[in-house]
Amino acid sequence: MRIQAIGIIHMGDTKRMKSLTDFEKIIKKDKIDSVLVQKNDTVLFEYYRNKKMKEKQHKIYSVTKSVLSALIGIAIDKGFIENVNTPIIHYFPEFNKDKEHERITIKHLLTMTSGLHWQGNNGMIPSKNWVNVVLQQDIGNPPGKEMVYSCGSSQL
């Protein structure tokens, strides 16, 4: 097992070394596959449970939703998206089914309150175009009214 700490530890910096050692113990105890901490272009900490873990793709499931929320914030900050209240019809003009569909915003997708009927992953996964599957759903609730856990929201 190999731990690399790059760019974070300086000569005589025993406090940081101790915290990295503690961090390593926690990672090993929890049987974490891999950890990579990067700031700007510098890798601060890198850990792999074994050699295979560095190259292996991992299923990260709902972590995607948190990363997506952060990326939306960055896109807003950089001016690529005006704000979270932007209707998704702006990005999917073919989605213009009716007035309720037009009301769905980025915020509704992020908070899973789009109102779109969600039939579950089994209805989406076999499809070659997950976005179309989600866009074709009927409205089950008015947008913003009710939270329904939906992987489809993050696909849009």
Q: If you average pLDDT over residues 137-151, what whole number do you get?
A: 93
The separation between CA 38 and the C-alpha centre of its own chain, rounded to angstroms, equals: 17
**Domain range annotation of the chain:** 2-54, 63-155
Q: Are 85 and 106 in contact (CB under 8 A)?
A: yes
Confirm if 134 and 156 have CB atoms less than 8 A apart. Answer: yes
Pair of tokens at residue 65: 């939703």
What the block records as the tokens of 70 is 């952060």
| Positive/negative CA dihedral, 136, 140, 143, 144 | negative
pLDDT in tens, 6-47: 333 343 445 555 677 788 888 888 888 888 888 899 888 888
C-alpha 128/C-alpha 150 separation (Å) is 18
